[in-house]
Amino acid sequence: MRFSEKLAVPPGAKVKLSDRDPGESFGFEKGAEVEKLIAKTLARLDELQNLLWADKRHALLVVLQSPDAGGKDGTIRHVMSGMSPQGCRVTAFKEPTPEELAHDFLWRVHAVVPAKGEVGIFNRSHYEDVLVVRVHGLVPRSVWSRRYDEINGFERLLAENQVTILKFFLHISKDEQKKRLEERLKDPAKQWKLSESDLEDRKLWTEYVAAYEEAISRCNQAAAPWFIIPANKKWFRNLAVSSILVETLEGIKLKFPKPSFDLSRVRLK
């Protein structure tokens, strides 16, 4: 099974999240075999990241979006664990600073796009400006509604400059979110991750679903595809995301550069 084909949103498709089962695992079952497969996939991902770093002709941008408690942090911790920090940077997009608000909404995003040879991981992203901004009415509809086209133009610019873009929506159910938030409430090691806004946003679940559906539908280009990842089962989420990363990097046809001098002349003493 090629996860990148199975979980990709077809270009031009109108997304309805209720049509997709967040608990789906496509016949895979939790256990030793899947653990071995994940380990093998992560080892291959490590090799490919090293090749990307050496090749220096392409960059990889990974965008992670989800409802609160959807697993963005967990995905980064488990899937990206084998990557070298030298060529990988994670950016978490929080509430914009006064300096960021003084610029266009993509200014802070473009500043942290990965350079060639690097992997950039966005924990939330420029899509917050058609998600939380829309749901909470932080700017008028006339402003956020034109951002879909602006995002598409921005992502085309990156793709034309050898940035491979993979966008993952980690799809969890409302019941699963409740379970995870309750775990955070009870666990002192997780309580710090909770905020009042998480609890308030849960009340706006329906509004967020509509915002996600429109963002994924309208900003899904061949050069910057969306993948809807069934994420109720964390192990399947990790398997799916890591597999898509490997499939994509293998498709770029990366190669090690030639030595900068004639190695046959080298005589070590």
Give me the phi and psi of 227, to 5 degrees please: -125, 130
* Residues paired with 88 in a beta bridge: 119
The encoded tokens of residue 25 equal 């695992």
Phi, psi dihedral angles at 135 (to 5 degrees): -65, -40
CB 226 within 8 A of CB 217: no
Q: Which two tokens stand for residue 202?
A: 């849960």
Residue type, 92: A
For residue 260, pLDDT over 90 is answered with: no
Query: Is residue 32 within 8 Å of 162, Cβ to Cβ?
Result: no
Instruction: Give per-residue pLDDT as tens, 145-171.
Output: 999 999 999 999 999 999 999 999 999
User: For the residues 59-85, what does the mean pLDDT come to?
Assistant: 95
Task: State the pLDDT at residue 264.
Answer: 84
- Is the CB of residue 94 less than 8 Å from the CB of residue 195? no
Mean pLDDT across 200-204:
94
Mean pLDDT of the region 116-120: 98
Angle between helices 234-251 and 72-79 (to 10 degrees): 60
Tell me the pLDDT tens digit for each residue of 121-142.
999 999 999 999 999 999 999 9
18-56: pLDDT as tens digits: 999 999 999 999 999 999 999 999 999 999 999 999 999
Say what percent of the chain tops pLDDT 70. Answer: 100
Say how many C-beta atoms besides its own lie within 10 A of residue 157's C-beta.
Answer: 14
Q: Domains in the chain, please, with CATH?
A: 30-252 (3.40.50.300)
How large is the average pLDDT for residues 212-234? 97
Q: Compute the distance between CA of residue 62 and CA of residue 15 in angstroms, rounded to an integer.
A: 20
Does the structure show a pLDDT above 90 at 269? no
